[in-house]
Structure 1
Amino acid sequence: MKTVSTNMLNLLNSQVPYAMADLYTITDTYGDTFYMTDCDVPITLSGTTWLPNQVILTRTKTKMVLGIETDVMTVHMSPVIGGTTLAGANNPFAGQGLLQALRGGWLDGGRIKVDRFVGASFTDFSCGSISMFAGRVGEVDVTRTNAVIQVRSDLELLDMQLPKQLFQYACVHTLYDTGCTVNSASFSFSGTVGAGATLTSIPVSGTSQADGYFALGKIVFTSGANKGFTMGVRDYVSNVATLSYALPNPPTVGDAFTIYAGCDKQIATCQNKFSNQVNFKGFPYVPTPETVTYY
């Protein structure tokens, strides 16, 4: 059930024309929050201002049903004329274009909340707003001119495998997560792109580690045309990192990046490379599945 303020209820029951606008609260992957509206003027409620003309925003309708049902809202984002650039204290895509940031994973794992402002006019803030939808960002499809973002209700979290962790040979933790506890900063190295780089092959200059050290890790570009983009490292041999996927832009000599050590989730790697066997959560001594044939 949704609740509204007394002023809003009285306005809606008065059957007179009123103003309304959608208020988008967008929290990105890096913890920065953006407040945008599809209105032509700023909307300020409870000390928070939703700004217009940041991004062209439209969305599909939402629905309310009795019971438990996962709803999905589709949000369309397009840059405004002249281009939309991003800001944010923690956002590596700050200063870059909207679509480029979305391709690089700006909203992967983020959240979008939509409220509906209602007032006698766009300067009447006495009625407040009503919550329309809130959820987690799912699929993001980026074209040349806009992005289509699926926002899924938090009820989707109920559709999970239980028990969450299986008995298996490899560790079930993700490297550097709260279960793993390894500090990523302790296994990160700054470097620059060397000569001979391609979209999938990065000669690493400025740091030197043993072959395989960065395999299954990641590389985050901090300057150049790929600034803000994160790519998985498939292999690392002779100071050359082979990426899991092609970069969106050709890297150039001198482009800066941070590269992180990888883990193959084996107990020997956990012990010898990270000194973290106490937090290893695999089951290397579980018997392997076997087929028994009898007559």
Structure 2
Amino acid sequence: MGGDKQALQAHLQSGLTTTCRCWAITRRDGRTFGFTDHDMELGFDGLTFKASTGLTASAIEQATGLSIDNTEAMGALSDASVRDEDIEAGRFDGAEVRAWLVNWADPTQRMLQFRGSIGELRRAGGAFHAELRGLTDLLNRPLGRIYQKPCTAVLGDKACRFVLDTPGYLSEAEIVAVEGTELRLQGADDVDAGWFERGRLDVLDGAAQGLWASVKLDEQAKGGRAITLWSAIGGGLAVGDRVQLTAGCDKRMSTCRLKFDNMLNFQGFPDLPHEDWVMAVPKRSSQHKGRSRR
């Protein structure tokens, strides 16, 4: 992973250097791509770093303390590496990025200079520009619980603890028609309409395999279900693709109790007082219990 840093340092101090940069991009689906700005392919850590890919990066900005390190990678879109449809589908969103300074004459002499993730990704004119965010960017994420009436957990996560593979809460179906964000599915018709609203649709095969979207509407249709997504899946859905539907949760206490029988793990605060109660002031004329007065 790290390589021989001391040997690389001695090489840099020699005055005559043979260095290049290498990048490894690991997507969330597990696929890893290697790039280098050298004119020949390099290999280390079990990865092959392809040359002539058109990938370059501006100078890496690194700072001490909690300042955020950042840089930008630029490259050409190609079928062999980064494709326009993959960017459109969001397959590179949040991908892990590692960047090394490498002695191409002896790749064991290398130093990991940057580690982070892809932030904003844009494309134009047959090329892409990827904002690279350092590890300190994670410190900008809000932590802790939020006091609110609805549940703050995600269905099936460590806080929710609901077992999603419970019979009836996951269903597979086949796409029989696609029109924008509206899908007609065959199968998954053993539950009532609305069961999958606010749920999730995962694509199991086809060009969009591994992608997912949130369900906006779930209606029963002849021979199956009519599903409307909040946003279209960029990978391209086709008739015959298999999908998996996950039951929806609207974060209400009654839903947690009646639909999922998971009240012990409800992460909301349903008894928080309304705004009228917070604004209440003492009165002599009558009791003031916080209810709105109309």
Name the TM-score class by shorter chain: 0.7 to 0.9
Q: Say which one has the larger Rg.
A: 2
Counterpart of 1:132, as a letter, is: Q
1:214 matched residue in structure 2? 196
- For structure 1, the residue ranges without an aligned partner over 5 or more in a row are 86-96
Contact 2:62 2:70 in 1 (8 A): no
d(CA) in 1 for partners of 2:170, 2:53: 35
d(CA) in 2 for partners of 1:130, 1:36: 16
Contact 2:63 2:69 in 1 (8 A): no
d(CA) in 2 for partners of 1:188, 1:276: 16
Counterpart of 1:50, as a letter, is: T
- For structure 2, the residue ranges without an aligned partner over 5 or more in a row are 284-294
d(CA) in 1 for partners of 2:238, 2:52: 31
Match for 2:118 among 137, 146, 149? 137
d(CA) in 2 for partners of 1:260, 1:54: 43
Match for 1:159 among 124, 137, 140? 140
1:182 matched residue in structure 2? 162
Return the offset for 1:249: 6.9
d(CA) in 1 for partners of 2:9, 2:19: 14
Change (3 A) 1:184 1:117: farther
**Pairing of 1:212-291 with structure 2 (within 5 A):** 212-238=194-220, 239-248=225-234, 251-290=237-276
The superposition leaves residues 46-84 of structure 1 with CA deviations (integer Å, 9 ceiling, x where unpaired) of x4333214953222211233432112222224334xx22
d(CA) in 1 for partners of 2:3, 2:46: 20
Return the offset for 1:26: 1.9
d(CA) in 1 for partners of 2:120, 2:156: 24
1:99 matched residue in structure 2? 84
d(CA) in 2 for partners of 1:26, 1:250: 23
Return the offset for 1:244: 0.5
Answer with 251-260 or 280-289: which moved more: 251-260
- SS of the residue aligned with 2:117? strand
Contact 2:76 2:127 in 1 (8 A): yes
- SS of the residue aligned with 1:287? coil
d(CA) in 1 for partners of 2:56, 2:162: 41
1:88 matched residue in structure 2? none
2:68 matched residue in structure 1? 70
Counterpart of 1:35, as a letter, is: G
Change (3 A) 1:51 1:292: closer
d(CA) in 2 for partners of 1:279, 1:109: 30
Counterpart of 1:210, as a letter, is: D
d(CA) in 2 for partners of 1:108, 1:261: 25
Change (3 A) 1:143 1:264: farther
d(CA) in 1 for partners of 2:75, 2:156: 32
Q: TM-score, normalised by structure 2?
A: 0.81
Counterpart of 2:134, as a letter, is: S
1:94 matched residue in structure 2? none
> Cα RMSD over matched residues?
2.8
d(CA) in 2 for partners of 1:60, 1:22: 11
Contact 2:55 2:73 in 1 (8 A): yes
Contact 1:23 1:50 in 2 (8 A): no
Identity level (%): 23
d(CA) in 2 for partners of 1:139, 1:181: 32
Moved over 6 A (4+): none
Counterpart of 2:182, as a letter, is: S
